[in-house]
Structures are given as C-alpha cells and as structure tokens.
Amino acid sequence: MSEPRKIIPLRREIEDSRPLYTLTVGEFCQLLREGRETKPEAPVDQLLDARAAAQLLGVSTEWLFRHRKKLPFAVKLGPKSLRFSLNGLREWIAAKKA
C-alpha cells in the first residue's frame, strides 16, 4: 500500500454530526481486509454406510440401494462402494418435512 494519506473531512450539505471522509480505493480495500470477520467453518461431513443411513431414515438397506440414483446425499466412492453424506441426509430430511 502507498504512503498513508491524511484523511480530510469534507463539508456536508446535510445536517449531520458525523463527518464524511475520503479514502483511496487501496485504503478502502485495506480497511475491508482488516475488518473482515473469519467465516465459521462448516461442520465436517461424515460418510455413513448403508446400515447407518437406513437406520437414520427408517428404511431398509435394499431401499437405499434401489433409490441411490435419486438420493442427492448418496456418494459413490468406487465401482462397488457406496456411502451416504450425513449432512446431505439431514438437509434432505429437513426439506422433506417442510
């Protein structure tokens, strides 16, 4: 960033007790970077096997395998390996209840 400049208050036309200041684009970006709050991290997702996912949904494992292509939370890990996202499963259940 370039040399710090003096912040000069501007005259305002509107009656307001707050002063108005000018900043360069670089100074404005620096203020944004300094004031930016850290985003909370998303909870770590767990991959469940068919038995655990079926238990949470209250269905059979056969039902899960039959409907796997329609389920947005099904994750194919390999040719014969299928898991189910816990976060995706919870969102899907919440959407079905609404």
pLDDT tens-digit series, residues 7-41 = 655 555 556 666 666 778 888 778 778 777 656 66
**pLDDT band, very low/low/confident/very high, at 98 (cuts 50, 70, 90):** confident
With respect to residue 19, please indicate whether it lies within any of the assigned structural domains: no
- Domain hosting 84: range is 47-97
Instruction: Give the Cα-Cα-Cα angle 90, 96, 98 (nearest 5 degrees).
Output: 105
Please check whether residue 69 lies inside any domain of the structure. yes
Query: d(Cα 33, Cα 49) in Å, to the nearest integer?
Result: 42
- The answer as to whether 76 is a domain residue is yes
Residue 1 lies in a domain: no
User: In terms of C-beta density within 10 A (0-12 exposed, 13-18 middle, 19 or more buried), how is residue 45 classed?
Assistant: middle
As for how many domains the chain has, the answer is 1
